[in-house]
Chains A and B, each alone.
Chain A
Amino acid sequence: MEKVIDVQSLRKDFKSHSSRSGLKGAFRDLFTRNYKVISAVKDISFTVNEGEMVGYIGENGAGKSTSIKMLTGILTPTSGTVRVNGMDPHKEREKFVSSIGVVFGQRSQLWWDIAVQESFRLLKKVYNVPDDVYNDHMNHVIESLDIGPLLDKPVRKLSLGQRMRCELAAALLHNPKLLFLDEPTIGLDVLVKLKIRNFLKEINEKYKTTILLTTHDLTDIEALCERVVMLDEGQIIYDGKLAKLRSNWGEGKQIEFQFGEQVNLENLQPLLTELQAEWTKGDRDNVWIANVVNEEHVISEVIGRVVAANRITDIKIHEISTEEIIRNIYEEGMLNG
C-alpha cells in the first residue's frame, strides 16, 4: 500500500530564553539572555498508509501540534526527514499544500467578515478547482454537512458548530488525499460531533482520504480510528491498534461496593485470596472498588464473597473506558502501567 506519510527520526528543538527574576535580573536580561533548548519532538518515526484514519493523541504539550505543523510544512524540522504525499513539505510548498486539507479547531480559516460562499469561491480559485468538479463534489459536501442555509451568512454570525462544519467543507473543497484535523470537535455538542464523524467516515470510504486526527476527545478516536499514535514528551509511546491498547490495558472491570458499615482493607483483603483482583479505596466513605479481570467466574465469585461477608447498600460494575486507560498511561507512563 502507498505510504501517504513517512516520517523518519523527526526532531524539533526550540530555543527559548528564560527570564531572570527581579528588577536586577530584568536589567541583566537586556544585555545577555539565558537560552535553553527545548525539544518539542524527539526523533519520532512513523508511517501512515493510504486510506487510514489515525488518531494522534497525547497530553497538552506532548508535541502533537508541533509535529502536525512540521507535517503540513508550517514549521521547519530541526532534523529528520518528512515525506508527505511523496513530497517534502518545505521544498515544494505550494504544490504540496494543494494536496492536503487542514482544519485547526481553534483557528478559523474562513474570512471572518464575508459570507461563507465568498470564502468558498475564493478558495476554489486559490486551489484552481474546475467548475464541474467543484459543483459535483461540493454539492455533496454541503448536503452531507447540512450547511446549505449557512452559505450566505458572514462567518462572524455563525455559531461554533455551524462554523466548524463550514471549516471542514472549506478544507475539503479541493478534495485532498490527506486531511489533517487538529481538534476539530473542540467545544461542539453531541449532535454536531456525530454529524462530523459520520461525514468523515463517509469521505474516507468514498475517496479513500487519509485522515490524521488529533483530539482530546477520545470518543472521536473510538468512533473513527482503528489505529492510534500516542505521544508523550515528544516521543511516541504507543503506535498500534486501538483495540490492542484496550485489551492490554483495559482488561478488567471495576466493581464498586458501598458498604453499610465501616470496613477496612484488612477485613476486605482476605475476600480476594486466590482471585485475580485487588482493592482500591473509593472516593467516598465506605466505598471500595475491586479491580478484577474480565472473567465471569471471577466477577461472580468476588461479588458472592463480598455480599456474603458484608452488608452492602449499593453495587456498581464499571468497564474501564478508553479515557481511563489513556489517563492511566499519561499518569504512569508506558512501562510501569
Chain B
Amino acid sequence: MGKYIEMIRVRFLMMLAYRTNYYSGILIYSINIGAYYFLWNAIYGGKGEIEGLSVIQMTTYIAVAWMARAFYFNNIDREIAQEIKEGKVAVEFIRPYHYLMMKTMQGLGEGIFRLSFFSIPGMIIVSLIFPIEFSAALSTWMFFTIAIILSFIVNTQINLLTGVMTFFFFNNDGLIRAKRVVIDLFSGLLLPISFYPGWAQQVMDFLPFQAISYIPSMIFTEGFTGFAVWEAILFQLVWAVILILPIQALWVIAKKRLIVQGG
C-alpha cells in the first residue's frame, strides 16, 4: 500500500512543478462559475424556484459542481492513451504494481492537490462575490464528503475504461473527447438532471454519469434530503462496483494482446 500512497505524493509534487497550469485553472473556473451565475440569474428572472431549486440553491449548485469537478476531474484517460501510443506502458509492465491502480492514485494525488489549493480557497472567494448558502448541518458535510469520494471513483473508472480502450483502437482521441462532453452534459455539471425532460431522466437513471456531479452537488445544496440522500449514495456505490467488471475484463484482454509500439 505504501507505494500507492507514495505515488499520490509524487503526483502532488508534479502538480507543484507546473504552477502556471494551476493559476490558469483558477481563472478558467472563476470565469465559468461567473458566467453560469449570470446565466441562471437571467433564466430565473423573478421566479422563486424552478424544479424545486431556489435561485440561491442554484448558484450554490453551480459553484459546488465546479469546485467538486476540480477534485474528481483528471486526464488519466489521455495519459494512458499517450503512454500506450508512445510505448511507455512497457516500462509500467516491468514494475511490481498494478498499472491501473497506480494511475488511479495519480488521479487522486492530482485531485487532492486541486481540492486543497484550488477548490477550498476558490470556494471562499466565490462565496464572497456571489450569494451562496452553506449548510450548517454536519450530516450534510459528511454525506457530501462520501459523495465526492464516490464521484471521484466513478469518474476515474470511466476514464480508465476509455484509456484502456486505446489498447484496442490505438488512436482513440475521438472517444476521449466524446466522453468528456458526455460527462459534462449528463453528469449534471452544466444542467441539473432534474431540469431534463422526464424521458431523458429515466434514461439517465440507467447510466452512471449523474453519480459524478449531480449527486454530490444536490447533497451539498440540500436538494436531496432524508431518504433521497441514502438512495443517491447507494446509486453511486452500485455503479462504482459495477464498473470494476468491464475495466478488469478489458485489462486482462489488453495485457494478452499488448503490442508495444515503437521498438
Residue numbers of A with Cβ under 8 A of B are 14, 65, 69, 72-76, 93-95, 97-98, 100, 102, 104, 106-109, 111, 113-114, 118-119, 121-122, 125-128, 154
Contacts and interface: CB of A to CB of B under 8 A. Distances in A.
Given A75-B260, A95-B96, A98-B96, 6 more contacts: A69-B90, A69-B260, A73-B93, A74-B90, A74-B93, A106-B263
Interface stretch (B6-14, B36-44, B53-61): B6-14
Most buried by B among A14, A111, A121: A111
12 contacts: A69-B90, A73-B94, A93-B96, A97-B95, A104-B90, A113-B18, A114-B10, A118-B10, A119-B10, A125-B3, A125-B6, A127-B96
Contact of B7 (A76, A109, A122): A122
B81 to A, nearest CB: 17
A106 B3 CA distance: 26
A249 to B, nearest CB: 29
A60 B18 CA distance: 38
Contact of B260 (A74, A97, A109, A118): A74
Nearest to B259: A14
Nearest to A115: B13
Among all A-B residue pairs, the 10 with the closest Cβ atoms: A125-B6, A94-B96, A126-B3, A125-B3, A98-B96, A113-B17, A74-B93, A113-B14, A109-B91, A102-B94
Contacts of B180: none
**Residues of B contacting A: mostly:** helix
B232 to A, nearest CB: 37
A111 B263 contact: no
B17 A76 contact: no
A109 B263 CA distance: 16
Given A107-B87, A111-B10, A122 B3 contact: yes
Contacts of A109: 91
A114 B14 contact: yes
B31 interface: no
A73 B88 CA distance: 15
Contacts of A121: 6
A301 to B, nearest CB: 50
B13 A118 contact: yes
Contact of B88 (A94, A107, A128): A107
B47 interface: no
A72 B94 CA distance: 7
Contacts of A95: 96
Contacts, number: 71
B8 to A, nearest CB: 10
Contacts of B88: 107
B120 interface: no
A35 B18 CA distance: 45
Interface string B1-30: 011001100100110011000000000000
A125 B3 CA distance: 5
Interface string B250-263: 00000110111001
Interface string B75-108: 0000000000001101101111100000000000
A106 B90 CA distance: 12
B95 A126 contact: yes
B14 A111 contact: yes
B17 A65 contact: no
A122 B4 CA distance: 9
A14 B6 CA distance: 37
B89 to A, nearest CB: 8
Nearest to B88: A107
A90 to B, nearest CB: 9
Nearest to A123: B95
B101 to A, nearest CB: 11
A234 B223 CA distance: 66
B252 to A, nearest CB: 12
Contacts of A69: 90, 260
A154 B97 contact: no
A76 B90 contact: no
B96 A65 contact: no
B4 to A, nearest CB: 9
B16 to A, nearest CB: 9
Nearest to B89: A74
A182 B88 CA distance: 14
Nearest to A106: B263
Contacts of A102: 91, 94
Contacts of A98: 96
Nearest to B90: A74
A109 B2 CA distance: 20
A126 to B, nearest CB: 4
B220 to A, nearest CB: 33
A68 B13 CA distance: 33
Contacts of A73: 93-94
A127 B95 CA distance: 8
Contacts of A119: 10
B93 A65 contact: no
A56 B83 CA distance: 27
Interface string B106-133: 0000000000000000000000000000
B254 to A, nearest CB: 11
Contacts of A94: 96-97
A109 B97 CA distance: 14
Contacts of B95: 97, 126
Contacts of B18: 113
A193 to B, nearest CB: 21
